A and B are shown apart, each in its own frame.
Chain A
Amino acid sequence: MDFFAEFPEMGRQDLRDFKKGIDASFREFSRTYGEAIETFFEPLLWFLVWLEKLLTNAPWPIVIIVICALAWLGSRSWKLVAGTAAAFLVIGYLGMWEDTMATLAIISVATMLCIVLGIPLGILMARSNRVQSAITPVLDIMQTIPSFVYLIPVVMLLGIGKVPGLIAVCIYAIPPIVRLTNLGIRLVDKEVLEAADAFGADYRQRLFGVQIPLALPNIFAGVNQTIMMSLAMVVIASMIGVKGLGLPVLRAISNQYLALGLLNGLAIVTLAIIFDRVSQEYGRRLQAHRQGADHG
């Protein structure tokens, strides 16, 4: 009866050896390749540091003007631009300017990285069902695994710093853009694609002339999601040495500083709302041709 009462576990010693084995081999791996991988990511670090310096060192009015200009280009809405300006003024007034700029820098770099990697991956997935069924479970893991768990190997490999933080953010934030690029391309009207074929379009003409333009609303929804998720990762990334709004939140959690946590948390929310509204508005404008409005 013992068999049913107690789960037949692996032997304690075996289990310990098993775990040790994994740890040892990964440590071995990071010793051998850690440096190479670090060099590989160096340009990314330079870019991130450069952007952060640019944002923090530039006179604040200029930064606000540039941000407002971008908001205007994206949304063409004065209300949104006014809201953006007001939000940044308040953030600065409450002493969170530098942290906000640091966060802005890492979010921008993370988003760019996700776009550069995610869209081609999504295109690849849309092209073949086999690739899709191989990548989908990986994306599922990336989205569901507790972030702390993949922080461990990243930190083992690259130590504490900006780049591991950036990678952690990207792991968490890249799935939506891959998924939605794949979905968007798969949802492209078969008849329009057939027409492209019938006129002799080659692979590139199909992809860039039909599939991507028609999938753009979905791809854009993916970009929007990616931005939102990387903002959500900011606090966790700060645990492994990313500067920005996450750091004060972390400090607030460990010291029970309610106001500090609240203010920085709200600053993250504000950034999220601005990014979201601007990018959604931009996405809507991309689809203007679908509405049949704008006669003239």
Chain B
Amino acid sequence: MAKIKIKISNLYKVFGDNPKAAMEHVRNGATKQSLLDDHRHVLGLRDINIDIPEKKIKVVMGLSGSGKSTLIRHINRLIEPTEGQVIVDGEDVLAMSQEELREFRRHKSSMVFQKFALLPHRTVAQNAAYGLTIQGIAEGEAAERAQRWIDRVGLGGFENHFPAQLSGGMQQRVGLARALATDAEILLMDEAFSALDPLIRTDMQDILLDLQEELHKTIVFITHDLDEALRIGDQIAILRDGESIQQGDPQDIILRPADDYISDFIKDINRGRVIEVRSVMAKAARASGPKLPMDTALEDALQTLASVGKDTGTVVDHDGKTIGKIDINAAITAMARPDRGTSQPRYK
């Protein structure tokens, strides 16, 4: 298990005039609705416990009003919690003084926003260098360091444009370059691609995954889009009404939904593309049939099996060692929607 970079524990957020008093009701079991109806306070987050592993992408997913944007703003304390802890590298962000917090925001974390939030009066180059100028680095050096990221996100040649002259996708590339330029270890992405067209969004996801290959940042990615969550998340946490209802890797979420809400959520997912053979295989030291790397998607595995006319395949790990076998029927069962009369697939 990777090292935990950010540890969020027992985090509560109540919005309203007197959140401390309202916390009493929350502890006594008030729901979001009853808190609003009876006490005129909004429950933003309830008892959130999330560990974010170092150098991984953790996706926090939920529909609007689920508290996901509130949650991410607690990590760099753009929002003050009502109760709880946010520990980053062993240091409690919530206990920091204003000075320490500024240092934290300048050097340790950076953020990408849904609506880009670029400075309209600054050029692409100046925007990308923004975090560096805030750190107090001279314009010249900041521009030089930011240039690398402008090129990296594919905006070379647009340095002197203003944000208003760029398309949404290009503006968000500026947002990404600005966040990367500070070399912060933590990247907070608040629905960063949600405002973009589907095609551009996929593009941006590719850019992000590509960058992550070489940068290995700790990324917290907020989204309401399950496909996006499954595509880029190493781990996913699902939020509803301010509560975390399931956490796990994408395979877990698809194969073992914690409740009906999540089952409902994932029912339209292309299971064959998300579920990997490792989740469906039976453990075995030896097996027959074509070799399939463990993270092959089921639909690709089926195609391979069908093309060679075999009923079983050999699942191998990254080193090519056999770790299990996959049966064509098990694969088909796993791909079928569980709510269409098939029982839950058995695995491992």
Contacts and interface: CB of A to CB of B under 8 A. Distances in A.
Q: State yes or no: do A and B come from one complex.
A: yes
A200 interface: yes
B131 interface: yes
Contacts of B164: 289-292
Interface residues of A, number: 25
A6 interface: no
Interface stretch (B18-26, B103-111, B210-218, B256-264): B103-111
Interface in A84-120: none
B113 A200 contact: no
A130 interface: no
B110 A194 contact: no
B251 interface: no
Instruction: Identify whether the interface residues of A are mostly helix, strand, loop, or mixed.
Output: helix
Contacts of B106: 199-200
A2 interface: no
A153 interface: no
Given A191-B113, A198-B110, A214 B104 contact: no
A201 B113 contact: no
B306 interface: no
Nearest to B109: A198
Interface in B103-143: 103-107, 109-111, 113, 115, 117-121, 130-131, 133-135
Interface residues of B, number: 32
B123 to A, nearest CB: 8
Given A290-B164, A292-B165, A197 B78 contact: yes
B110 A192 contact: no
Contact of A289 (B130, B162, B188): B162
Contacts, number: 75
B76 interface: yes
A202 interface: yes
A205 B105 CA distance: 14
B117 A200 contact: no
B112 to A, nearest CB: 9
Contacts of A216: 121
Contacts of B134: 196, 199-201, 205, 209
B182 interface: yes
A42 interface: no
A148 to B, nearest CB: 43
B39 interface: no
Contacts of B119: 192, 195, 209-210, 213-214
A23 interface: no
Nearest to B162: A289
B102 interface: yes
Interface string A211-225: 001101000000000
A294 interface: yes
Contacts of B162: 289-290, 292
Contacts of B111: 195, 198-199
A295 interface: yes
A198 B78 contact: yes
A195 B121 CA distance: 14
Given A198-B188, A292-B165, 5 more contacts: A198-B111, A199-B110, A199-B182, A202-B102, A289-B162
Interface of A: 189, 191-192, 194-202, 205, 209-210, 213-214, 216, 289-295
Interface of B: 76, 78, 101-107, 109-111, 113, 115, 117-121, 130-131, 133-135, 161-165, 178, 182, 188
